[in-house]
Amino acid sequence: MANVVVVGAQWGDEGKGKIVDWLSERAEVIARFQGGHNAGHTLVIDGKIYKLSLLPSGIVREGKLSVIGNGVVLDPWALCDEIERVTALGVTVTPDNLKIAENAPLILPPHRELDQLREAAAGVAKIGTTGRGIGPAYEDKVGRRAIRLADLGDADTLESRITRLLPHHNALRTAFGAEPIDRDALKAELLAIAEKILPFAAPVWKILDERRAAGNRVLFEGAQGALLDIDYGTYPFVTSSNTMAGQAATGTGIGPGRLDYVLGIVKAYTTRVGEGPFPTELKDAVGQRLGERGHEFGTVTGRQRRCGWFDAALVRQTCTMSGIDGVALTKLDVLDGFDELKICVGYEIDGQRYDYLPTAAAQQQRVKPIYETLPGWQESTYGARSFGELPAAAIKYVVRVQELIGRPVALLSTSPERDDTILMRDPFAD
């Protein structure tokens, strides 16, 4: 049975939530493998809206096992709040349908505070983080001073972890003029949340192996997008984890050979939240129109997204780096009514042409997009459920996207509703 990895192939906000939800009907297990509660996704099911950040999309479906892997940094307080919110919407969340990796590192209140202190001090040099402590938590993980979920189960272990953590954080806080961490208050908070969160702790790697051996299909769900990858994104305006498909193996404890199909999610245009380069950004009426029609506001932050034309050069690049087999093209309906559409096919920097975005920040700042113009369409694509329903110009646009990125369009989304999805190639069948 095929296991499918779903990753964003742009700067996030590509519509992964809906696509993962649509695919989750065909899978028995849905696993998150990186990121934290800094990236959210919205599901619309039978007119009911679910906004998720930490919980895998499969949690809203009965009979599915949801997994949060070790590659995720977990804010236990944020998770408990999210569980309360979805429970109020009629979703059942118990240790039977949600498992969290025992070795998942925790986001603590000092991480959130440090994140916000840094951004405030950076001024115009700020990166544009969500201020939720994701970066500092990952720093502590690689610095070998993190408190992990399993540590909450033993008071002596927790005490030693706090002892290792405090000198590092207090030194930083002193530099920012903040008060030292109250050790007793932090420990009390952790012991209080432990009883709520520990029942979900489990050896995720073992459970996934057993489920695979039993013939279950596993859907691996990424957060953010490939262009925010800590190694391959537009550094330093990136997230603090690897967002590429290969992280699905490391972030859950399975072998890379168990990943059978990689589906990249791409919006029919391009958006970005926060700071950083954006070659096709439109700071005009067209960009504003895309934002208004696409309701481009962040699920977690509420920040308005920057909008621009589809960048085939960038998507082709992320398809290569993530080993993407096919893409799900979302929000095609947002392009309805434009007289003409543009697609970026490459770049020019100081008179030299590039078919990829160079790594050097100075070059990225001087990038000029090279566009190809296609005719738009006046008919509505909203809610279309078959390729034949689409206007001829829309079909031409989709076909041209396929040609330029070198990957087939496996799924086509024409509205936020789950069933308004055109299946052109089933990832689980490959």
Is pLDDT above 80 for 44? no
DSSP β-bridge partners for residue 67: 31, 99
Pair of tokens at residue 37: 């509660």
Cβ(68)–Cβ(29) under 8 Å?
A: no
Its pTM stands at 0.92
CB atoms within 10 A of CB 373: 10
Q: What is the mean pLDDT of residues 369-379?
A: 98
- Catalogue the active-site residues: 13, 41
Pair of tokens at residue 130: 């969500």
Is pLDDT above 80 for 225? yes
Q: How confident is the model at residue 57 (pLDDT cuts 50, 70, 90)?
A: confident
Residue with tokens 């979805």: 86
Residue type, 301: T
pLDDT in tens, 245-255: 999 999 999 99
Q: Which of 126, 104, 322 is nearest to 205 (CA)?
A: 104
3-state secondary structure 129-146: CCCCCHHHHHHHHHCCCC
Residue spans of beta strands (DSSP E) within 291-349: 306-308, 310-311, 326-330, 340-349
Mean of the per-residue pLDDT values for the chain? 93
Residue type, 35: G
Is pLDDT above 80 for 300? no
pLDDT in tens, 412-427: 999 988 889 999 989 9
Q: How confident is the model at residue 48 (pLDDT cuts 50, 70, 90)?
A: confident
For residue 46, the model assigns a pLDDT of 75
